[in-house]
Structure 1
């Protein structure tokens, strides 16, 4: 018993020492970079977020807050929408913090009319203890993905709140960087009660960094409702969509499509570049073909190739697709979200580089991985025998997750 007490005192001393030097480091950082932060905050893009985060110029949390969610930006906030909606239906008092303007704006757009809901920017670590006197009713903190801020979790634990990390992942690219700061992350994970990892690989990496009580849960995007925002009429052609293409992928897909079109002339390719700044370059690359732009001509059935040059329209195009070639996977980008084309039960083909999307591919069935343009061409020519993709049933998992967050 004395040994256990001695070990406990030793751990507390280590934590106290770490916190002291961590706050000292943050204080020095704050003083040194204050002028640069101030100048940056004058830019329209950062004005609201930086003033709120670094100068404490925003409202304080409601004293009724029971569950505090933190999400970095737009994508993370969107992934939390089904969870927040269910908890608000249970009349829970919720605080959502973000670090970016896009995440903040989306939260307001979705939940502005909801009662018992508040959205704020997450203060800089040095300023977080100022919130303690306001969060007197806090029972649970839920943080998404890789927002591993020490004072965020420390503040919650000093208020005796349960702490969770959800949708947790460590990418191939960032793992070595995390390992270099393993000492820091071990201190953070000591403050986290439970981790919900996206995949087994993520779980192993998180455990190596010091995480405990890890459950492989999958990606929260499986709960996000997929809805078309515009209803295009299905062309009287076989429609192949190349979704979220990156540099060089358009050429690869186009090569396979033109070979396919020799056997199936009554077919149409819709190219959807991932980045809007590439729209004009891709259009110029298609010179010599019968091509049109969706923004100008809509779904022109007389064309051989359509360029989807409208942001936020890809789901609407997936709805009318027969075959989807999901890109960002033929170059080492890591793939893109397969749930959207699988929701519409398209015949789904992907390249081999899906290392950022393993958890989402685990949630669907009926997709085909192809290695290169030759295999892509062959699979297209066999399209009649290709399976239809679909999302596996995940309905019960959301309720199980919520049970962890609600303190009855």
Structure 2
């Protein structure tokens, strides 16, 4: 069986819904700005990629609003958009023929923070009963499966930024094993006092207050990254079954995947990339663009640039490399699925989205970085994602036959 993506639901700072997101991404306008969701004046960082214009009450049933964190509200909305994009009515599938596999990193931090404040301020009787699950990093899988009656294979992957690719790979496995449809992706909403504090403690955040100079992967002036909220939920089906039900479009195939883990003091990122290419049966010359992890931390950027050159260095022309996340920040487990969505749309339209604000490349990071939207004939693209503490994942998407 061939696992293909038939629907895309995106909630990102550059746009809500697949076409708004894609138009905003191709435009190349940064959505990074001052944090407005809370008073961050006492924090060492002040910028983030925030989603604007999202009305949870217009997207999900009112009874779910007091039960859910913003991250789950975004995930439910994106799932609905993805199902509509794929023209999927869950009622026409068997309930055990649909699964949900998502990635999570921090869960419902804002909900949890609010309830802990109630506990200490007012006492235990004032803590919401929904605190028992609304904070949990697996909650999106549960709420999506309940809302749409999806009782087939479910799961959650927790490997930070790499997690979204790991979840999509698991969705591919489930489709290949016979599940009719799997909703898969990742979503994050860390922009609350507790969430931002946790990211600050992890290190790697840019301290710059200049929105155009705060997140500069591969740049000589790189000093860390900016966090953002959002992600994407993709509808993954078998190509034959999608064709039989009359799916309106197929964005592309999840063709190859590989994950590695870094040993102490080393890196196995290049092995993840070559493993994904081998799994897809694609030669490095067949990759039309690389969607980079783009840490923004100089030492990590250098590792990624070296891995890309190691794999693609024998090509007659350099492989185009892009990092659309420079417009909205790193989205933890939501970042990989957003990059996959962008890669699939790039395959559809034959154009690679830009990396913004990056100027002079750092020594060792001399890549063919796409600075403006670039028309490129594409049949396959590679997405790279790395999580804290050594997680590496690479995924190849290919145009559907």
Give the TM-score normalised by structure 1.
0.27
Which entry has the higher C-alpha Rg, 1 or 2?
1
Judging by fraction of residues, say which structure has more helix.
1
Q: TM-score, length-normalised on structure 2?
A: 0.27
